[in-house]
Structure 1
């Protein structure tokens, strides 16, 4: 039988184990430790390695002997069998090995001191709730399959694994440390368990930035960047250089001596303390005085990204039923901000960059944005389209902090896709997810708008926990009028403004041409219900039927077209300006014979 995820994972699930697909040793799924149902899509991850989650209903633990010296490894294995008894044994890269047991109650990860034996770092880890181990697949270092030399894991159901007490585990860890210390060529590093640092516990709630950094260090995924960022964080908390050196010494830089590690750590900590001192001085000079309410009210007017609709900074939710055209409204909103254009007659927007993050349907969203930009002759370069941001943890926020420049508006589409494994009816879990969005808002001083679905009663807004409405600054509701293409965007909550604003839009037909294939696709564009049809759109409609035309002919045709369609007149200068913009944006081509439609329409 194959050792693929498709073959092994279903069998493990039948035996009561929780599984997760992995790429090498790294879990593939976001929020994998929340046990999402997606992990049971065995066909989708058919070729992945098979990870088994620790903890769970049976309190599974895995004792990972990360010892590369054969003699030391063998002595620790004899100790394990003497103290804990036999259990399923897995081998990845010999002489390292792993044994699987059960505990009477939930256990968190425990780790021994780290010792240097024959020039190699050696340690013992007891993996508990929030960790996983690879049961089947290919070891990323050896290129060979993981082995179960005696009893295979699948020979047991989860509730039949050997049971060990926490006292026995503590005794094993202590005696195992004595064995490693007796063979070590260097002093042991301090156990990370002794450090006054919050260890990442993988409770299913979003990890803090420092927990993510600490996890990177414990797993050996990175050294310089997480320690640099931890030093900056602890400098803000007031820790001294000596205190930070004490905290960071256990995390040795691979290939460095103790002296080299200390020198590098001292440089990182000194730099963090200097930057903190500089920021503290700047903060003190900028600190606001105590003022009267009147002074504050007059000095600090509300700052709007979109007047009376979207504040400059904060988090909001825009909700609507399926098929209410809410994503069309959000795309149009992003383009208006990217161009500083009116969102609605009398509703101005401040110029800024917009980031639309779509968990699904990215190509369709791209086509929709192009069609809307073409319809209004808007510039698309101020809009970014990215994969969906997760609100289950800080991983995407961390990535954006390092790899992206600031956007003034960030749209997350949709809330349900951004919170995998989170109970939408749990106030505490949804509040934690919204707090992740506030982290992004604080990082970029931007507004984060989350697209959500309404429940059966649309008037109650976004479905799910009451914490949604309580914890955000703005709540918008998109409501479609029956089966028509008229929708209303209304403000349901505005923490610092009026919540009576209501705007009506009509979805109108348009077309967009794929530049590479020439394929013409139909699309819908939201148009304010009382707004004129733009001059540029009238010109395109005329050129679809009659082209090429001179500028004078186009002006005359626009007059006729407006009368025929009962549209308000536009000036000659508006037509000339629309022609100029159309040529610039390649919607319209000008040649010796006159004007005609371009490849981008």
Structure 2
């Protein structure tokens, strides 16, 4: 098997040179002063470049001077020259409220640095800076230039957020910022960097010039339109980008890893099926080796690390390859979000997709996007234990219950309306210790106990049940904030206020609203629910309360304690039988299989979860 090797280009290709020429022509037409910069570098080629160069010098583009800079005289360019990602994020949180909207943001994929371009409100002010032990923030002006197009010396390509660059936005349209605002920003950042504010001279010597010319870029997590999309829309964007990235002839390892990590980042933002999408694309590559090599690279991804690749990298690469994804990134597009005029209108068969999208399973056949599942058992028989393991399995992307987790690591919101957060912490930490999971493995898991969230979804007024608007607003706000793939409610009886679950009207109101929540947010909801007394366990009808609860759920699971007589058959001592149970599927409307799965969860005194395995009895 051929191994992947890192390819470092020593010169620019004809396509790269054509791209540089197009950028220079467009930037000049937009009113910028453009200069030649050495390839894979940041030093201007000409000696007297501060007022820009004419087209005769800029074209044709030379392979040794293919990078392009713009003179910053008359502009104010904020250069966040800090290598620690968390510190960059802290700086951005401090200065974003002080910055005008619409600045042009320049980045590269392998550095947590950032440049934001504005016009000077008046004149051509000189450079200002603030520095400290974490780095510096410079405001470039007269006598500096910004590398605006090309490749950094590390091999990383320069790109602009949202496609807004000097080639697409005229200089006249760039928002202006005043020196008073800049002083306030530098003062704010000085406290973060623990340094003083100073002004640098407008003229610099040639030997010092390189110190004033910064290669500006960033890997900071800035809000991206991708985050506003529903999961199925996100999947559409990722699939479209991968389709146009042709790796069948050229497949260098550094580019392969960049795409893999960008797709993995999309998964962190809620996109489903990212691993399968990345694997399918990788198999097409000219340097494909094996799935083991793929898994090794995939597991090396770390979210939010300094210089980490983001989904923006994938979108930029796809745009460079000719893809048009702007319409796909518009979450308010009428093709993606039905308007009030179209919602509820019946469609003719011809309007239905010829090949309907497949159901998006998340955890085996237990959870599916857009639907509600139930886990039913008597009190104290393991519902919360099972849901804790399920939450960790989904958040880690690992088959802790011997069921495949589709889409890799998922985002999970676990709301326990019965126990305090400290109690939840005991269970979660015990299970994490057993499965050797760290916080980094389950970074997408969020928990809220009854002490942190008083959630009431049903209210009763004059004997008539109805939805409780404040409770639903609180729940929707949490869903909007955390964007979970899986929402766990434990237990159902604790969120119905003074209503009785025997009331079919109240139960139907609650379940329909939960189904709607799941469908609109493209998430899976699983609810812990109690059984009625004297009903046969392992039967869908065993659920307590009105029939609407089970009828409106698409999937129903039941917990059955192990009987003493059956314990010896599976090698369990009779005195330990009470600590073992199995989970069976009692209702499955969305899965064609007729064989019910079974599982067991062994506990120590029902306070921890040292073992979770699947067992066919």
- The structure showing larger relative contact order (alpha-carbon pairs under 8 Å, at least 6 residues apart) is 2
Q: Which is richer in helix?
A: 1
Calculate the TM-score normalised by the size of structure 1: 0.37
* Larger-gyration structure (1/2): 1
Calculate the TM-score normalised by the size of structure 2: 0.36
